[in-house]
Structure 1
Amino acid sequence: MTLRRLLALLAALMLSGCSATGHWSQALGGHLALMRAAQPVGDWLADPATPPDLAERLKLTQQMRRFASDALALPDNNSYTRYADLHRAAAVWNVVAAPEFGLTLKTWCYPVMGCAGYQGWFDRDAAQQRADALAAEGWEVQVQPIPAYSSLGWSRWLGGDPLLNTFIRYPEGELAAMVFHELAHQRVYASDDTGFNEAYASAVELLGARQWLAARPEALAAFDAARERRARFRALAREGRDRLKAIYDGPEAGRREAKAAVMAELRARAPAEAPGYEAWFQRANNASFAILAAYDDLVPGFVRLFEHEGRDWAKFHAAVERLKPLSPAERRATLRGLEERPHDVDPETRPTR
């Protein structure tokens, strides 16, 4: 990090209050520690102590990295050309919160990246302490382990965002999806719209991973099967979210009882309708449903936009860039207008070639 940028960040921290300063101090320290742990992939491959299975994975990621820039028009920089073993299960833990009777995420605003509906912590216990404090204020809260995050390109002078042990052994399709998702955040990012950013990156990961797997039919079949299971989970979660929203928008009398009944029904239906996701429904609350919407709701619109731009990646990214000056409401209206147009492509089932 250049001295000027570091001083600017520190100044922003001092102006943001004691609580925010505590969060940002750990965030800055945690990120710098992560960056120091990363070494070039070439060094890992040259080290005879590197396990053979890890070496093969690292080689595969470098092919994915080149594909991302050459075929998907994603940034061509030093991100994901280094690897770090953090010796923990997550890169960060995100705290997300929503009201007891609402599905709007609590928002935090940060220097450089703008506002987001989550707060990231590099220490699990610290994240839980923050979550407990929010719960004491009446928020419904979740602490979610996150395998990777994007510095939006700001880490390129420190070596670029690294590959991590937290996702390096994902199945091939999901590994490609992870890399493409995080690089998408470096390509287009709206500082005022978590849902827009995450849905765009999720569309890139879906379309890009299928394109990467097009010549690998077995891996593509496995990827599509996993995404089909995820689609069933999201359909049940979306139904639950819509029913909860109707309760919260209705009369105050009986809200708590009606909410509890919906949650009990979802937990009972999950084993049959969303196998593999039973644990998610067991611990779900308003924060769970709200953050899921950020990653989910606008994805079909972005897929339609990709089709509208002739499946040309450079044109697609440029079209997304043109949405940034709009308000969040205008962005959603534009994307949902695309969703409503008839088309012969089902983004959940048809691979991109």
Structure 2
Amino acid sequence: MIRPHSSHRLLDRVFRFLFPGLLLLLLNGCSSAAYYSQLVDGQLRLLKAREPIDQVIAAPARDPALRAHLAQAREARTFASVHLHLPDNESYRLYADIGRPFVVWNVFATPEFSLAAQNHCFPIAGCVAYRGYYSQGAARGEAALQRLKGMDVAIGGVEAYSTLGWFNDPILSSMMHWGDERLATLIFHELAHQRFYVKDDTEFNESFATFVEQEGTRQWRASRGLAPDTGLRWRQSEQFIQLILDTRQRLEQLYAQPLPADQMRQRKALEFERLRADYRRLRDTQWAGDKRYDAWVYAPLNNARLLPFGLYTRWVPAFTALFKRVNGDWIAFYAEVEKLGRLPVDDRRAALKTLAESRPSMPPH
């Protein structure tokens, strides 16, 4: 049962006690104050825009397609808690119309001849390889400043994110162009972040959530009497990500060489052209000409655009093996994940590597 909303838990307990001292009084320095101020303002606007999904579904005046979409999402949300043992709270039982295609825009930056991300650390989420902005204009302004410093820069729109249980996260209007199943997978993924999260280990967190998303979707389809997914899109995604990872490895080797800047720049450009050629070969020989990644590949490429790849999938094989080891018991699985999360980072990665090497071929999802 969904508990009374109580004005969304008194605006999530008064912005969770004023969002930790308004992020320690917006940290210090004018630029820090301006940046964290927009984060606080953007999150508060999002919280205020929420309304219970039940009310939207029950309102005849609301868009019928929206109501039907949210009704399917409500079923997936219940499945997440009852069958996948994910947090049972008001997250994704609320809806917010944000009036824009993305909720935030992330800005990634690296030096021209390095794949080392410019990291940013936050009181709640820890250190991540980007800065998020609730305004596209502000994100573009930050990107322009980074380019003036000679950095490689990329901007990525984000349709959804998790506050890791600090607030009751809503389904956003930016997700409404997705199909019902894609929306369900997002709910599983983001609730997994609420279920467990390790500060400063993006690969662990995203791989864990991606596994929960994939296995949860498989079980969700089975519960509705649908045939198993062929896994074609997942295999294509894995192949594409591997192309990116191979390119990153070659670039790292290139940047380690003591070359003049002009020569380094030329060879860097050649690596991106090789990526495009490898992609065309894969697309045309194995994917029957499927062009879903064309727009990304043929846009201008730089180091920063390569950063997000691999973060979501690196340890999925390890979590697949772990889930099999506990015979598909979600409670036991989460307990083992928490044990891994408590290990020192080097020990954790060694354990994940051992698990990944032990797992059988991945079944289709």
TM over 0.5: yes
Relative to structure 1, is the Cα distance of residues 197 and 13 closer, same or farther in structure 2, using a 3 angstrom cutoff?
farther
CA distance in 1, matches of 2:305, 2:208: 20
The answer for unaligned runs of 5 or more in structure 1 is none
> Which residue does the alignment assign to 2:276?
267
Match of 2:189 in 1: 181
- Cα distance change of structure 1 residues 24 and 80 upon mapping to structure 2, 3 Å threshold: same
Check the 8 A contact 1:57/1:169 in 2, yes or no: no
Amino acid of the residue matched to residue 22 of structure 2?
A: L
2:46 is matched with which residue? 34
Q: TM-score, normalised by structure 1?
A: 0.90
For 1:313-332, what aligned pairs fall within 5 Å after superposition? 313-332=330-349
Shift in Å, 1:217: 6.9
Contact 1:100-1:140 within 8 A present in 2 as well: yes
Say which of 232, 239, 244 aligns to 1:237: 244
Secondary structure of 1:144 counterpart:
strand
Structure 1 segments of 4 or more deviating over 4 A?
215-220
CA contact under 8 A between 1:92 and 1:120: conserved in structure 2? Answer: yes
Alignment of 1:6-25 (within 5 A): 6=18, 8-10=20-22, 12-25=24-37
1-structure distance, mates of 2:28, 2:319: 35
Equivalent AA in structure 1 for residue 183 of structure 2 = L
Distance 1:106 1:11, change over 3 A: closer
2:342 maps to 1:333: no
- 5 Å-filtered alignment, 1:188-207, equals 188-207=196-215
Question: What's the offset of the Cα at 1:192?
Answer: 1.5
Change (3 A) 1:138 1:327: farther
> What is the DSSP-based 3-state SS (H/G/I as helix, E as strand, rest coil) of the residue aligned with 2:342?
coil
Note if 1:124 corresponds to 2:136: yes
1:17–1:323: structure 2 CA closer, same or farther, 3 Å change rule? farther
Letter in 2 for 1:191: K
Quickly say closer, same or farther: Cα 1:29–1:302, change in 2 above 3 A: same
Closer/same/farther in 2, CA of residues 310 and 25 from structure 1, 3 Å limit? same
Q: What is the count of residue pairs matched by the alignment?
A: 343
CA contact (8 A) 1:105 1:291 kept: no
Alignment partners' CA distance in 2, 1:338 and 1:186: 23
Computed over aligned residues only, the root mean square deviation of the Cα atoms, in angstroms, reads: 2.1
The 8 Å contact of residues 241 and 310 in structure 2, kept in 1 or not, is answered as no
Equivalent residues in 2 for 1:55-134, closer than 5 Å:
55-134=67-146
Q: CA deviation at 1:220?
A: 4.5
DSSP-derived class of the 1:170 partner: coil
Local SS of the residue matching 1:324: helix
Cα pair 1:304 1:339 within 8 Å, conserved: yes
More deviation, 293-302/212-221: 212-221
Offset at residue 142 of structure 1 (A): 0.9
CA distance in 2, matches of 1:65, 1:280: 32
Counterpart position of 1:257: 266
Q: For residues 83-105 of structure 1, give each alpha carbon's deviation from its aligned partner in whole angstroms, at most 9, with x where no partner exists.
A: 11211111111111222222222
Distance 1:344 1:269, change over 3 A: closer
Distance 1:76 1:7 in 2: 22
Cα contact 1:108–1:117 (8 A) shared by 2 = yes
SS of equivalent to 2:155: strand
Distance 2:158 2:330 in 1: 27
Q: Which amino acid aligns with 1:267?
A: R
1:350 has 2:353 as partner: no
Q: Return the TM-score normalized by structure 2.
A: 0.87
Q: Does 1:288 align with 2:316?
A: no
SS of the residue 2:157 aligns to: strand
CA contact (8 A) 1:13 1:24 kept: no
